[in-house]
Amino acid sequence: MGERASTLLHSRQGRVIIDAPSSAIHNIRVKHKQPLPGVDVQNKVRDFRIAAGMSQGELATALEVSRQTIQSIEVGRYLPSLPLALA
């Protein structure tokens, strides 16, 4: 709860992709084979992507990462570093 702070995510071309709550962005980078317990960032990324009307492939292209990276973030196997989140 509390106030909603937002972080604008940009592609490398400078276009705004998503207006995401700051709490959805973590400054850590960890790969896991199983979803991380207690972490809901993946659901927020998926929710914001769908709200923006983008497919995983479209978001991946805009951020210059693979579709598999977006999929891993959404299912909780990968938490993006802040530079990737702001790429």
Q: Does the pTM exceed 0.85?
A: no
Per-residue pLDDT at 46: 86
Q: What is the pLDDT of residue 17?
A: 44
Averages of pLDDT over runs of 10 residues in the chain (87 residues) are: 43 46 41 50 76 91 89 81 63
**What pLDDT sits at residue 63?**
84
DSSP state of 74: H
Q: How many residues does the chain have?
A: 87
- The pLDDT of residue 74 is 84
The domain ranges of the chain are 6-85
CB of 62 closer than 8 Å to CB of 17? yes
Instruction: Report how far apart, in Å, the C-alpha atoms of 51 and of each of 18, 19, 28, 32, 80 are.
Output: 9, 10, 25, 26, 20
Q: Give me the CATH topology for the region 6-85.
A: 434 Repressor (Amino-terminal Domain) (1.10.260)
pLDDT at 76: 78
